[in-house]
Structure 1
Amino acid sequence: MLVHPDMMKTSSLIATSSVAPIPTIVPTPTIYEEAGDMGKRTLWVVVVLMAISSLAFYGMAWRVPVQKRLFHIITGFITTFAFLSYFAMATGGGIGYNKYTVTESHKRVPDTHQDFVREIYWARYVDWTLTTPLLLLDLALLSGLNGANILVAIVADVIMVLTGLFAAFGTSEGETWGWFVWGCIAYLVIIFQLAFNGRTAVENKDSKTKTFYASIAGFTLILWTTYPIIFGLSEGGHVINVDQEIVAYAVLDILAKPVFGFWLLFTHDSMSSTSPSLEGFWSQGFGSQGTLRVGDDDEA
């Protein structure tokens, strides 16, 4: 059977037109997780509270002799650093961004990937690096902890905060939770110093001081244990949004700094046994009685 050339052309065209177009992949837009109005207002509220608390602590310091201002000065520095940190965050500073990807597996279609970019307030970690050692110093001086144990507690505290910062900027779950575990280990060292060595040291003091130390140290440890939980729900596990994260940390910071400070200073001022008197260089400078002598031979 002969086939006309025109029929061959027609069948060829039909075969060509039956090929389906190649599907195109539309990229999923990146989702940005940033603070909203609630989070921004919360930051400003904390700025005001930290400023008022700082002024109050410095005012309380002026009411006592310089020899007895150690707790007041340390506590005032705590809220001052917190004020500066929150002011930076409230004005849009001290913020970084961490990108992470969430992968969803499907049975009959390829896995889908969603990119997220979340705000990370690194100024908060700068604040904690400065303020939490001072908080520990307040508790250590209250209990009478020795210098070696104080140094261990402060170094463990700095490690805890820095590993938390590294965890917040982790690019994978393994990296984030690996740093988180190291931070938790450092926190266990702090707990040991306060709960065991601190309690042992305070046994040499009167009953009021022992009771007060047990209360305020227990209060602090409960609060500090809540911080890693909030981290796990926010920067770590991405369960709560940035606004909820800001509010949660703000509540903890208010309790751990201004509330802690007023409780410490009001009780300190009413209990003479918890009020160390520092003479020498602290109160008199390099004078005849306050000269710091290092390595001088005895002339007796």
Structure 2
Amino acid sequence: MIIDPVEVLKKTKTSGQLLPTGVPSKVPLPTVVPNPVDYQVVSETGTRTLWVVFIVMVISSAVFAGLSWRVPVSKRLYHVITTLITIFAAISYFAMATGHGVGVNHIKIRHSHQHVPDTFSYVDRQVFWARYVDWSVTTPLLLLDLSLLAGLNGAHILIAIVADIIMILTGLFAAFGSEGTPQKWGWYTIACIAYLVVVWHLAVNGRAQAQAKSQQVASFFLAIAGFTIVVWTAYPIVWGVADGARHLSVDGEIIAYAVLDILAKPVFGTWLIITHQKIPETNIDLGGFWSNGLNREGALRLDDDGA
């Protein structure tokens, strides 16, 4: 008897019985999905930006040093401070462009659900701590430039510089802070409060002292200090969007800080030095040790005491 396989399949389908195939059925096993890690690192665009800013800072340092040779040593204080600012910035950008001065902040993010256990995801984001080292040196020098321009006393200068250093260090701590804890945004809040102290000394005390010099000095100080405050205010905003909330990529962060650093250092320095040379009231004539060093005229002799 010849068996038609088609008829057999039809009967099997209607009867609900399965034919033995000799191959075990494949049952899907539950899969374990590993916690995803989002790597946020610099790309070629960010690296090129770092090299460009490094070159800008080197050229600015050379220009400022050349301008200092055109004035007497006793009147080079602004030139020296401004040149040091761009030199330190160049060193920082060279470190970042070559891959040094960079750390990774490992961030653990909790995702809460109603009917299933919480899940976690991870972010490994590069943090350029060399940038904070740069700021901890260059921003006090910038404040010193503005303080000398306004004629602030030593007490106000010291408080403003200390508040500025606190602002930079707490910003660094916040960049490496843990996610989901008061630690990260607590450091950020302290940094913002310290920044308000800096603004207070510039906007209130600095403006009052500048007006005591002359109207021309007061107008110049108001313009350049206002420019500095606007630029500096953008830094914590970029931090909050980039390192804080991570809505900005590492490349975007680098580009944003690059623009601000160029405005706050080479542009600021060029404006200060050129305008300072046109306003005699801003001169700070430093004689003595600054210009002449230690010489025999100021030495103490035993004969002068009658011994």
- TM-score normalised according to structure 1 size: 0.88
Match of 2:288 in 1: 280
Within the candidate set 31, 38, 42, 2:45 is matched to 38
Q: What is the alpha-carbon distance in structure 1 between the residues aligned to residue 201 and residue 299 of structure 2?
A: 30
Distance 1:257 1:58 in 2: 14
Q: Deviations over 1:243-284 (max 9, x none)?
A: 000000000000000000000000011111111110011001
Give the deviation of 1:107 after TM superposition. Answer: 4.0
Q: Are the counterparts in 1 of residues 109 and 179 from structure 2 also a CA contact under 8 Å?
A: no
CA RMSD after TM alignment: 2.0
Cα distance, 1:103 vs structure 2: 2.8
Instruction: After TM superposition, give the deviation of residue 30 of structure 1 in Å.
Output: 1.7
* Residue type at the aligned position of 1:215: A
1:191 and 2:211 matched: no
User: Which residue type is aligned with residue 203 of structure 1?
Assistant: Q
Q: Which residue number in structure 2 is paired with residue 50 of structure 1? A: 57
Letter of the 1:178 partner, please give it.
G
Structure-2 residue corresponding to 1:4: none
2:241 corresponds to 1:233: yes
Residue 64, structure 1, aligned to residue 64, structure 2: no
Count of equivalent residues: 278
Q: CA deviation digits over 1:125-166, x for unaligned, max 9?
A: 000000000000000000000000000000000000000000
**Residues 72/298 of structure 1: CA separation in 2 closer, same or farther (3 Å cut):** farther
Once the two structures are aligned, what percentage of the paired residues are identical? Answer: 55
Distance (whole Å) between structure 1 residues aligned to residue 89 and residue 213 of structure 2 = 32
Corresponding position of 1:5? none
| Per-residue CA distance 1:10-35 (angstroms, 9 max, x = gap) | xxxxxxx9xx8873422123221101
- Structure 1 residues 263 and 120: CA distance shift in structure 2, 3 A: same
Distance 1:40 1:117 in 2: 18
In structure 2, relative to structure 1, the CA distance for the partners of 1:204 and 1:47 (3 Å cut) is same
Cα distance in structure 1, aligned partners of 2:115 and 2:271: 61
Paired AA for residue 158 in structure 2: L
Which runs of 5 or more residues in structure 1 are unaligned?
Answer: 1-16
Instruction: Tell me how far 1:72 sits from its aligned partner.
Output: 0.1
Secondary structure of the structure 1 residue equivalent to 2:125: strand
Pairwise mapping of residues 9-158 of structure 1 onto structure 2 (< 5 A)? 23-158=30-165
Moved more, 160-169 or 193-202: 193-202
d(CA) in 2 for partners of 1:55, 1:109: 62
Decide which of 144, 166, 190 is 1:159's aligned counterpart: 166
Q: 1:176 aligns with which of 150, 170, 184?
A: 184
| Normalised TM-score (structure 2) | 0.86
Gaps of 5+ in 2: 1-23
Change beyond 3 A, Cα 1:52–1:26: same
SS of the counterpart of 1:249?
helix
Matched letter for residue 283 of structure 2: S
Specify which of 247, 250, 253 is matched with residue 245 of structure 1: 253
Q: Does 1:263 align with 2:260?
A: no
Distance 2:135 2:264 in 1: 11
**Partner deviation per Cα, 1:95-132 (whole Å, 9 max, x = no partner):** 00001122333444443321010000000000000000
